[in-house]
Amino acid sequence: MVCHEFEKFTHMRLRIINIVGARPNLPKIAPLMREMQRHPEIEPILVHTGQHYDEALSDIFFRQMGIPTPHVNLEVGSGSHAAQTAEVLKRVEPVLIDRQPDLVLVVGDVNSTIAVSLAAVKLGISVAHVEAGLRSFDRSMPEEINRILTDALADYLFVTEEDAIQHLLKEGRPRESIYLVGNVMIDSLRHFLPLAQKSAIGEQLALKNDAAWQRFAVLTLHRPSNVDSTEKLAELLGAIDSIAAQVPVIFPVHPRTQQRLAQAGIKTHPQLKLIPPIGYLDFLCLLSKATLVLTDSGGIQEETTALGVPCLTLRENTERPITISEGTNQLIGTDPARIVAAAHDILAGKGKPGRIPPLWDGHAAERIVDVLLKNPPLGLHRKSTLPVT
Ligand code: UD1
């Protein structure tokens, strides 16, 4: 009897396969998994494509953020764009057929995001895209292609900012599939900030004496357009050297950038401290205490806006314009003189003030789950999923 009841119950659950592939996906999926696990009506399954596989780019994030161990790891590893995307497509298809989810939920804009979405829709499975509608209008960015294609396929388009709604409407996506829900990455930031403040990274990097932090900057660089050419990378690090002459600059180096640096043999200022990639809590601690952040990442533009920390984005465009119109971000480009001048202003206390965008309040995952429960996929893949009313 109990067994029968349980079976009936499990058949009524909305089975959702959640996808992670690369590092930036992890702070986005963490609050969604937490929220789904609070709802007995949902059966959340986690699949890791293995696009990122290192301890420092993947495992440490699972541990620190309490993300459950994935039910499946596709172990696709690194490769060219075509090879990596194709490998995810091939390897995820049998998992989708075997697990028969009602919905596949993807986040962000990495190769795993588009690959899994494509495999799912071809099997008639609904797709939800979290962080939909962001556009840099720069098709030389691999992520821009992934964003456009994923949004063309997804049935649920969860957006972080108003501009994204307009982009999706212009691309012909139906208004009723678009939901402004806030920012799941900021859910993680708010949830983990108190814990991150206890990190010992300040002492380890000699940025802190007793309770007092000294002024410092944080740098991240990994976009192919900035790091794949030795000349470009040397030019950018030349500008950073001038900033490092004023304050220590902490630079956790992404493996892609590390490979280029090793090949190029570029020498840097002693106050530019190159360190291996660090975990989420240490990084969040550094971001929250920094005087200035310089980055070409998408997510860090949002995190600095949420923290009210000045950010210089070393790119010619951004898919996250709200961090500029409302937040602390400035799109500064890659001209060394502009970077040095803008950093100088911030260090002189003339940073751009900002405010936190609407709905970046730590509750985006709750809103997403609420939408999914109130509007379950129409063409339910598993006919028995929801009770007939
Ligand atoms: C990927 C995403 C990018 C995201 C970034 C965050 C795409 C198209 N790009 O770029 O959007 O901002 O992740 O990190 O999906 N490597 C390791 N260990 C790993 C993974 C990779 O050492 O765990 C090395 C490999 O040599 C690989 C290189 O890093 O060739 C680049 O990794 P890859 O996943 O191809 O792209 P990312 O630059 O990380």
pLDDT in tens, 283-314: 999 999 999 999 999 999 999 999 999 999 99
Residue 322 sits at the vertex; the CA angle it makes with 118 and 169, to the nearest 5 degrees, is 45
Catalytic, out of 52, 129, 167, 222:
222
Does the C-beta of 142 come closer than 6 Å to ligand 1? yes
The four Cα atoms 49, 53, 56, 61 give a dihedral, to 10 degrees, of 30
Selected residue with higher pLDDT from 287 and 4:
287
What whole-number distance in Å separates Cα of residue 18 and Cα of residue 155?
15
Band (339; pLDDT cuts 50, 70, 90): very high
Find the mean pLDDT for residues 218-240. Answer: 95
Question: Which pLDDT score, from 0 to 100, does residue 211 have?
Answer: 84
In the chain, at which residue ranges do the beta strands (DSSP E only) sit?
14-20, 42-48, 72-73, 103-107, 126-130, 156-159, 178-180, 208-209, 212-213, 217-220, 249-252, 272-275, 292-295, 311-313, 329-331
Question: Which pLDDT score, from 0 to 100, does residue 324 have?
Answer: 98
218: which strand partners?
250, 293
Question: Which pLDDT score, from 0 to 100, does residue 11 have?
Answer: 54
Mean pLDDT of the chain: 94
Residue 377 makes CB contacts below 8 A (sequence gap 6+) with 102, 103, 126, 155
78-82, 174-178, 257-261, 329-333: the lowest-pLDDT one? 257-261
What whole-number distance in Å separates Cα of residue 180 and Cα of residue 174?
14
What whole-number distance in Å separates Cα of residue 155 and Cα of residue 223?
29
Percent of the chain with pLDDT over 70: 94
Band (267; pLDDT cuts 50, 70, 90): confident
Find the mean pLDDT for residues 151-176. Answer: 98
Q: Is the pLDDT of residue 209 over 90?
A: no
Helix and strand totals (H; E) in the chain? 17, 15
Does the C-beta of 56 come closer than 6 Å to ligand 1? no
179: which strand partners?
158
- From ligand 1's centre to the CA of 2, what distance in Å? 47
Find the mean pLDDT for residues 58-73. Answer: 98
What whole-number distance in Å separates Cα of residue 210 and Cα of residue 45?
44
Question: Which pLDDT score, from 0 to 100, does residue 263 have?
Answer: 87
Q: What does each C-alpha distance from 80 to 51, 83, 110, 354 come to in angstroms?
A: 11, 5, 13, 39
Percent of the chain with pLDDT over 90: 91
Find the mean pLDDT for residues 73-96. Answer: 98
What whole-number distance in Å separates Cα of residue 186 and Cα of residue 191?
8
Find the mean pLDDT for residues 80-95. Answer: 98
Strand-strand pairing, 272-275 and 292-295? unpaired
Q: Is the pLDDT of residue 52 over 80?
A: yes
Helix, strand or coil for residue 19? strand
Q: Is the pLDDT of residue 12 over 60?
A: yes
What is the Cα 380 distance to its own chain's centre?
A: 29
Band (382; pLDDT cuts 50, 70, 90): low
Nearest to 113 by CA among 135, 75, 143: 143
Does the C-beta of 225 come closer than 6 Å to ligand 1? no
Nearest to 264 by CA among 238, 228, 294, 218: 228
For ligand 1, atom 24, the nearest C-alpha belongs to 255
Band (378; pLDDT cuts 50, 70, 90): confident
Q: Which two tokens stand for residue 372?
A: 């999914």
Pocket test for ligand 1, best of 253, 256, 258, 313 (most atoms within 8 A of CB): 256
End-to-end alpha carbon distance in the chain: 23
Q: Which two tokens stand for residue 4?
A: 């029968």
Q: What is the DSSP letter of 335?
A: -
Band (384; pLDDT cuts 50, 70, 90): very low
Q: State if pTM tops 0.85.
A: yes
4 is catalytic: no
- From ligand 1's centre to the CA of 134, what distance in Å? 20
Band (171; pLDDT cuts 50, 70, 90): very high
Find the mean pLDDT for residues 142-162. Answer: 98
Pocket test for ligand 1, best of 78, 228, 301 (most atoms within 8 A of CB): 78
Per the rule left: phi > 0, alpha: psi between -120 and 50, beta: everything else, 100 is left
45: which strand partners?
17
